Amino acid sequence: MRRGEVWESRLHPRSGAEQSGRRPVIVLSNDGFNAIESWQSVIVVPCSTSDKQRARGPTAVALKKGAGGLRKGSVALCHQITTIDRTKLVTRWGSLRAEEMAAVEQGLRAALDMS
């Protein structure tokens, strides 16, 4: 797996307001870590198709259908960065283009107040 790839994932069990169920995620973790098979964790941003999530401001980054293989127009929920076990990644859908990943990175900077 590589940074910027979109994967279908199984995000359960989760709790509270955390995104759960089968959904696309965007890989954020460093490719150096991603290449180490014994490194079991991967940092991801979950995606949602909910219109309610679209209104969350600069940390909710809109992605068009087809971006990185997304089946529907989606929102990268940059305020819900999470670490998961790589066994929760099911199927690789594709990779975001550089400008799409740049938009996600801008959302991450907003979420972490790192402008």
What are the extents of the domains in the chain? 5-111
Residue 58, classed as helix, strand or coil, is coil
- C-alpha torsion sign, points 101, 87, 77, 115: negative
Quote the pLDDT of residue 18.
Answer: 47
Quote the pLDDT of residue 75.
Answer: 96
Residue type for position 99: E
Quote the pLDDT of residue 53.
Answer: 66
Mean pLDDT, contiguous 10-residue spans, the chain (115 residues) = 95 56 92 92 92 76 96 95 92 98 97 89
Give the separation between CA 7 and CA 114, rounded to whole angstroms.
26
The topology under which CATH files domain 5-111 is SH3 type barrels. (2.30.30)
